[in-house]
């Protein structure tokens, strides 16, 4: 399917120039040979029965090593143990339908094509890109039509989505995401020798959630994004896992970018709490459309509200017959499966899927009905799609660890934070370096990144939403003209030019780039970590708290200094300076991890409403962080707090606070007015941030800040 926002989408294939006798046969009931009468072959048998009643087809014969189930084929239908025997005994069929194990598709398809038959080939077409190219060349040399069994591509919802984009109702296309939440039990993987295998007896199978059961989600997402042929895919990343004891993947992310620059992210699992209808979401600049492809159901959401449509579907077997009569284009041609085969090849050549640790998996059911549930997987899938991130990049506890760009450690070598360079962050989230996770001395992680509510929030760092028209915060941009947040192609990035570290210190030289690639600012940033020395004692409410330093130390200090130098005249602003009253965030920002019992306070105020927008010498956050983790044999994560001293260069900068909606605090650089810098001019800010184990009250916060 092409769309106005997918300029590289190919025109649909023209009807095949089939021999005259084939077209003549297509006018009468087409003679069908079905290869594979079990499994999904039963679906084809039911569909062929329907078409036979309408006079469109005749089931000429079936081939399967096992005899068909009683009553599944019309009485008297010849049955053979192999396609070879069928073809040796009977005239070539008009159409062969191949619904057999993946590893047999290539040889059986070639054998059918060699008889002059047209072909319906179940998905995935073949188990490698090389085999795909070979089969495609074979079919083209025969002048044969090959329909691939991605049934969702017959849905009329695809045309409806195309119309939504053409009309501008949901704006222009900015991304496509697919989510599949299914369950599979042990019986599913014991039903045949090839199930769950990447290779069987030395032959590639490439079974898995991406390439087989939820391959329709991938193929549908690609079609909507305008990616049909191999060359329509510019880049692919895959992140593969399994909770079952299998070779293949059952929980995975595929992330790709089309040649037209459209990001496509598919997050899929067979280890959900319960099965749900999978969906593909079309993200537009003015709304979105959610396509439940097994139901042909489309839900459209815009600023005007939500509406739902139930659309029809063209059967792919009927479409193939119409194509052979010269009446229609193939809806799922082998030529147009090239983009999907690029995905399959990325899965095939990727490292073996990683086993999800038992600690992150719950098993339900008994015997062959037992099945795994990956804890929290539903939210993780949605987060991956919205952030266009892999499980590893999200930092999920069961995923492969993502190596940090550097580690910030105390002078004694204890690590307290990791530096992420942000290079893998999606362009619309304004890629930039940040610290995450940041931990207390006891190991409690107090930062979050890529959270579902605001996926552009990245740990602890610096960001601004409007630097002379470039969004370096991520997400939508608030504009005075629109009076609201809008999606614009205005996202820049902050690039690391140089980074150096030593015990207790990280030094970075950064380049702030505009959305057009030009340089806006140069930044020198230092992050210094030190243990709070002994002697800084402050009693908590119970009067029995230990000191915050020495042998029973429970705090460490981060001193972050930044010097921004304008490469050219720039305006440093954000939502506040663009008219969003009380929304003046931008500058230093700390996205806190999920927590409960949170308190936010300054010397004179407490609570979000009282503290937000106020200027005060310090701000403190105290909460119970629920994301307890196991480090070695020790379980960590409980009450902790953060204290931030106002920057001495600008003590009047207001504090930005969010508590009810999400946990976050920051120092606002441009609360109401933008900061103007001429070429060569600099702006400096220094923030001292204490990370404390245990609750933080006003007395402790004041004592920490007072010690300097």
361: which residues sit within 8 A by CB, 6+ positions away?
243, 271, 372, 373, 374, 375
Task: Give the helix ranges, DSSP H, for 365-486.
Answer: 377-387, 391-394
Residue 317: pLDDT band (50, 70, 90) is: very high
Task: Give the helix ranges, DSSP H, for 501-624.
Answer: 608-611
pLDDT digits (tens, 9 = 90+) for 60-76: 999 999 999 999 999 99
Instruction: State what percent of residues in the chain have pLDDT above 90.
Output: 91
| Confidence (pTM) | 0.92
In the numeric block, which tokens belong to residue 632?
């070695």
Residue 86: pLDDT band (50, 70, 90) is: very high
Residues 97-112, mean pLDDT to the nearest whole number? 98
Partners of 691 in beta bridges: 556, 642
Is pLDDT at 54 greater than 80 in this prediction?
A: yes
pLDDT digits (tens, 9 = 90+) for 107-142: 999 999 999 999 999 999 999 999 999 999 999 999
State whether residue 164 is helix, strand or coil: helix
Nearest residue to 550 (alpha-carbon basis) of 640, 642, 441: 441
Q: Would you state the pLDDT for residue 708?
A: 75
Give the CA-trace dihedral at 131, 137, 138, 140, to 10 degrees. Answer: 140
Q: Would you state the pLDDT for residue 543?
A: 39
Residues 642-669, mean pLDDT to the nearest whole number? 98
Of the listed ranges 399-408, 480-489, 629-638, 669-678, the least confidently predicted one is 629-638
* Residue 65: count of CB within 10 angstroms of its CB: 11
Residue 691 · residue 438 · CB < 8 Å = yes
Task: Give the residue with greater pLDDT, 708 vs 543.
Answer: 708
Q: Show the 3-state SS of 209-274.
A: CCCCCCHHHHHHHHHHCCCCCHHHEEEEEEEEEECCCCCCCCEEEEEEEECCCCEEEEEEECECCC
Residues present in the chain in total: 708
Burial 233-258 (b: 16+ CB within 10 A, else e): beebbbbbbbbbebbbbbbbbbbbbb
Residue 160 · residue 300 · CB < 8 Å = no
Residue 5: pLDDT band (50, 70, 90) is: very low
**Which burial class, exposed, middle or buried, applies to 208 when counting CB atoms under 10 A from its CB (0-12, 13-18, 19+)?**
buried
**Residue 526 to residue 435: CA distance in whole angstroms:** 12
Nearest residue to 496 (alpha-carbon basis) of 466, 465, 457, 525: 525
In the numeric block, which tokens belong to residue 243?
């909770």
% helix / strand / coil in the chain, to the nearest 5?
20, 35, 45
């Amino acid at each position: 399917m092409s769309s106005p926002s997918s300029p590289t989408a190919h025109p649909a294939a023209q009807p095949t120039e089939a021999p005259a006798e084939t077209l003549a046969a297509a006018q009468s009931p087409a003679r069908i040979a079905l290869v594979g009468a079990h499994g999904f072959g039963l679906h084809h048998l039911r569909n062929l029965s329907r078409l036979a009643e309408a006079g469109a087809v005749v089931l000429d014969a079936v081939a399967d090593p096992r005899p068909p189930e009683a009553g599944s084929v019309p009485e008297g239908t010849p049955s053979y143990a192999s396609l070879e025997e069928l073809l040796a005994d009977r005239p070539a069929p008009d159409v062969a339908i191949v619904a057999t194990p993946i590893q047999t598709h290539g040889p059986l398809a070639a054998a059918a094509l060699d008889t002059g038959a047209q072909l319906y080939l179940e998905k995935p077409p073949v188990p490698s890109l090389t085999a795909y190219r070979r089969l495609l060349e074979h079919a083209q040399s025969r002048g044969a039509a090959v329909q691939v069994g991605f049934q969702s591509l017959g849905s009329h919802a695809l045309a409806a989505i195309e119309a939504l984009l053409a009309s501008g109702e949901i704006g222009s296309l900015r991304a496509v995401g697919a989510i599949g939440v299914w369950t599979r039990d042990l019986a599913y993987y014991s039903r045949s020798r090839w199930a769950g295998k990447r290779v069987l007896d030395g032959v590639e199978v490439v079974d898995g959630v991406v390439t087989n059961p939820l391959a329709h989600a991938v193929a549908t997402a690609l079609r909507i994004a305008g990616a049909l042929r191999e060359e329509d895919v510019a880049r692919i990343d895959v992140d593969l896992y399994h909770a079952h004891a299998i070779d293949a993947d059952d929980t995975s992310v595929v992330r790709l970018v089309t040649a037209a620059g459209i990001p496509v992210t598919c997050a899929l699992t067979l280890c959900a709490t319960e099965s749900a209808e999978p969906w593909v979401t079309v993200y537009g600049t003015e709304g979105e459309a959610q396509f439940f492809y097994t139901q042909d159901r489309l839900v459209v959401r815009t600023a005007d509200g939500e509406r739902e449509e139930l659309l029809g579907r063209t059967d792919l077997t009927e479409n193939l017959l119409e194509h052979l009569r010269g009446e229609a284009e193939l809806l799922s041609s082998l030529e147009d499966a090239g983009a999907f085969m690029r995905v399959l090849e990325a899965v095939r050549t990727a490292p073996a899927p990683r086993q999800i640790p038992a600690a992150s998996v719950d098993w339900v059911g008994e015997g062959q009905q037992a099945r795994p549930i990956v804890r929290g997987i539903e939210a993780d899938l949605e987060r991956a799609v919205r952030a266009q991130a892999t499980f590893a990049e999200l930092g999920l506890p069961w995923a492969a660890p993502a190596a940090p760009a550097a580690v910030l450690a105390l002078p004694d070598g204890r690590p307290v934070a990791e530096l992420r360079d942000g290079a893998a962050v999606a362009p619309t989230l304004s890629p930039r370096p940040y610290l995450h996770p940041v931990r207390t001395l006891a190991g409690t992680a107090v930062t979050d990144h890529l959270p579902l509510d605001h996926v552009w929030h990245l740990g602890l760092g610096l960001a601004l939403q409007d630097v002379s028209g470039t969004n370096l915060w991520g997400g939508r941009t608030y504009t005075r003209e629109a009076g609201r947040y809008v999606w614009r192609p205005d996202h820049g990035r902050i690039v690391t030019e140089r980074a150096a570290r030593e015990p207790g210190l990280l030094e970075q030289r950064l380049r702030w780039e505009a959305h057009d690639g030009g340089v806006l600012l140069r930044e020198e940033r230092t992050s210094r970590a030190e243990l709070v020395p002994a002697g800084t004692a402050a009693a908590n409410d119970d009067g029995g708290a230990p000191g915050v330093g020495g042998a029973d130390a429970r705090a460490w200090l981060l001193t972050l200094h930044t010097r921004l130098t304008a490469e050219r005249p720039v305006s440093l602003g954000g939502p506040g300076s663009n008219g969003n009253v009380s929304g003046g965030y931008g500058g230093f920002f700390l996205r806190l991890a999920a927590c409960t019992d949170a308190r936010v306070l300054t010397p004179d105020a407490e609570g979000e409403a009282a503290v937000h927008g106020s200027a005060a010498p310090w701000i403190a956050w105290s909460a119970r962080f629920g994301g307890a983790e196991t480090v070695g044999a020790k379980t960590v994560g409980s009450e902790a707090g953060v204290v931030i001293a106002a920057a001495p260069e600008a003590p009047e900068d207001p504090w930005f606070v969010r508590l009810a909606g999400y946990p976050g605090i920051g120092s606002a650089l441009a609360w109401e007015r933008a900061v103007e810098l001429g070429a060569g001019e600099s702006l400096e800010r220094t923030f001292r941030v204490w990370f404390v184990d245990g609750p933080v009250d006003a007395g402790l916060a004041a004592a920490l800040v007072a010690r300097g």
